[in-house]
Amino acid sequence: MANSLVLVTGATGHLGFKVLLLALKEGYEVKAAIRKAEQELRITRVKSIQPYLKNLTFVVVPDITAKDAYVNAVKSVDYVIHCASPIASNANNQGETWSHLFYDPAIQGTISMLEAATKSSSVKRVVITSSIFVLEGWNTGKTAGALDIIPAPSKSNADNSVSRVEAYALSKIFAHHAAKEFFEAHRPSFGLIRITSGYVQGANELNESTTDARNGSNNALMHCSWRNGAHVASLSPGVKASGAHTNFIVAGNGGRGIPWDEFGTEIRERFPEDVAYGRLNPVAGQESLLTSFDVRSSEEALGFRFAGKKEMVESLVGQYLKLLDSVQGTRRRQL
């Protein structure tokens, strides 16, 4: 494992950066795939990265959907962690179809990576970021297991989606099935693992303002420290990859859904002064879509239990307050 080279895509994203950092801390050499050359500085100037710069290189992949997009990127790579994907935060389909905005990039980005890995003689395992959106159980009361995958809809029906969140969810379903079909058709020599998890929550070291902290998945749940932990842990030879069917559900609180109002309660209990002074305003009565997942086999395979709402709140809200202090010139808080 030591000195093995890992390609991490989506390295400027919330999850991708955390994966990159943890892989470096675990002793891997990392090649970070970025879409623009100037994004390298955004990563290398982060304080926590400084001790590991000698083990970090970059490769520019401007269009993840292009033919042979990752062929050069995977050269000499032992492992791939594929985090790059369109996110739902700011997209809309005014003048464009959801296929163009979400479905095609998700599918083609996944296939491009798998094709490149198949052509490589060095890649031993590919770990792909999926989503709990691919699992059955939404609004049914059913506890979804790792193999309870929603069937892929037709593209024409999917383009009639009414919201970007729904389109994002469908993009994950399409990408999941595309990876499975590719793997079963080509039978590559490397192992394939999918990490199916909820929204990423927690401090993002790439954030430089409170506006940044509201963007991406933090605005929308799952603590980032153990989601990226799942990705890196999946590289271990002790974690088995069985064909195209190895899916790990990464969801905190024992897999039980957490109502948004409980996060508000946690914020008020953890940061009472900031709530009293109006720096934080947790709003009660927000609608929650609760679904439960069976995470027991995933926790057992990966070797650790997933965190809960306390860790999410302390990490994300704590960072938000520090950023707010830096803007307002007030005292920095000790967590």
Looking up tokens 């490769």 gives 59
Give the pLDDT confidence score for residue 88 in this predicted structure: 57
The domain locations on the chain are 5-260+290-312
Give the pLDDT confidence score for residue 113 in this predicted structure: 97
CA distance 119 to 115: 6
Give the pLDDT confidence score for residue 327 in this predicted structure: 63
DSSP string, 144-185: E-TT-BPPP--HHHHTT-SSHHHHHHHHHHHHHHHHHHHHHH
**Cα–Cα separations (whole angstroms), residue 86 to 194, 202, 250, 267:** 17, 19, 20, 30
Share of the chain above pLDDT 70, in %: 82
- pLDDT (tens digit, 9 = 90+) per residue, 101-157? 899 999 999 999 999 999 999 999 999 999 888 998 765 778 888 889 999 989 888
Band (205; pLDDT cuts 50, 70, 90): low
Looking up tokens 């693992």 gives 193
Give the pLDDT confidence score for residue 112 in this predicted structure: 96
Task: Specify whether the CB–CB gap between 204 and 42 falls below 8 A.
Answer: no
Structure-block tokens of residue 299: 């926790």
Task: For the domain made up of 5-260+290-312, give the CATH fold.
Answer: Rossmann fold (3.40.50)
Average per-residue pLDDT for the chain = 82
Give the pLDDT confidence score for residue 94 in this predicted structure: 61
Band (26; pLDDT cuts 50, 70, 90): very high
Q: What's the pTM value of the predicted model, to 2 decimals?
A: 0.80
- pLDDT (tens digit, 9 = 90+) per residue, 239-298? 988 776 799 998 877 777 777 788 888 888 888 888 888 888 887 777 666 778 888 888
Cβ neighbours of residue 318 under 8 Å, at least 6 residues apart? 203, 333, 335
Band (226; pLDDT cuts 50, 70, 90): very low
Ordered alpha helix ranges (H), the chain: 14-25, 39-44, 98, 104-119, 155-158, 164-186, 210-214, 224-233, 260-270, 272-276, 296-302, 309-328
- pLDDT (tens digit, 9 = 90+) per residue, 235-254? 998 998 877 679 999 887 77
Q: Which of 290, 307, 288 is nearest to 299 (CA)?
A: 307
- Is residue 161's pLDDT more than 50? yes
Looking up tokens 């990576």 gives 113
